[in-house]
Structure 1
Amino acid sequence: MASLTTDAIICAVRHHGEHGAIARGMTADHGLIAGYVRGGRSRAMRPVLMPGNLVRAEFRARTADQLASLTVELAHSRAPLLAEPLPAAAIDWTCALTAAALPEGTPYPALHEALGGVLGAVEAAPAARGWAAALVRYELLLLAELGFGLDLTRCAATGDADDLAYVSPRSAAAVSRAGAVGYAHLLLPLPAFLIEGGAGDWPQIMDGMRLTGFFLERSVLTERRADVLAARERLVDRLKRAVA
């Protein structure tokens, strides 16, 4: 990558040196890319380099192994949402998950599209229920794209595709009510909206968050658990308050 100009969703930013910052952006064709922004900690750049913002980014590097220099121009700001606790928590977690889970330089076009969809839903929906189900589906998609997908097509115990109500924490496969007799208490609830579509009600959405959270913690965020999962815990806590 000598030079690349593309749209990018800012997913993570950290300070580098006295005035600079390293930003990681999710792109459609090149996946997650990191770059050094000169003056990235300045008053002018801080509102641009915020997770969730869409920027026009130009990456320049002499070699493939070199950290690229990055210049950005704001294309669409979601900064106003960061003043609202629940949308801010959703953006913080979704972007942090993306930055922590994905390897750099690997294209994930479905995840890029889904990430933009989730952030757009957070921005447009009048209430959290309008985007919470989309967030659960994004987490499921990320698990699948990284090779840890759940099999929700048929019961692992009976082979049937009907009345699926649980997921085995050991096999990540669905289990029907009939197949779960005697050990349902050992399984994770499978919310109906993940099978039937739609938004789901709040109990189903919270079941979905517990389901994806279990597999993300077990399979994806094992080395960065404390930092990244703290963002998810804040989101879940605020969702619980919102529906209480």
Structure 2
Amino acid sequence: MPLQYLEQIQQLIHLVRHAGKVLALTGAGISTESGIPDFRTKNTGLWEQFNPEEVAGIQALKKDPQSFYRFNLQWWKDCLRAKPNAAHEALARLEKSGWLLGVITQNIDGLHQAAGSQRVWEVHGNLRSCHCLACGKEYAIKQLYQDFSCEQCGGLLRPNVVLFGDPMPRDYYIAEKVLSGCQLLLVIGSSLQVQPVASLPSLSRQVVIINREPTPWDHDAELVFRESASQVLADLVKGLQDLPGPYFQGNS
């Protein structure tokens, strides 16, 4: 590896070791190695090809449910079929060894939990379930594969994800509180272009960016990595592997 990268890894290890409270904020870029496309990479990002409000907004769902689900169900199914990659697994190991308090994620794919992360705040919701807009009855997400109508009242079903035009869920406000006193935030695979999540780094004393593309926070970050998240996080885990962190719980 280039000397500059190796020096940066040593700096990252130092930052994590000396920060009392470390959290991760993850975006779509951490899941690309699991085969899930991201949203804003030039030419290939989903929202670079489509207007998100027209295909993934709450008004789009209400206006034309058939078109909404014809567009979204396929990539949601891809999310649910995907497996965690080395980056997800590294974050789970960092949490287990006590170096990471938890993960705040913009992702709806559930891969952090599948990798073993215990403390995950899903600020854009998740694909585990859906509910009726009319009566509120909850269903497993697979219900949408069969019918978009509620079995109880006939109302329209929607996924428990944050669509464009939706308010933020409870997990977002919990994440804001969790970030209180955060000394180091690892931003991984997020373009930091979508508000209000893009403002969360301002709640941390120090920020490290691990992202293929530039972000608005690059100039204010302690370190910026353009390498893959799995590479950077694997090297971080290796550098910390014999040292229990401040949140280490042993075998309990």
Using the size of structure 1 for normalisation, the TM-score is 0.27
- Greater relative contact order, per chain length (Cα 8 Å cut-off, separation 6+): 2
From the two aligned structures, give the one with the greater strand fraction.
1
Using the size of structure 2 for normalisation, the TM-score is 0.26
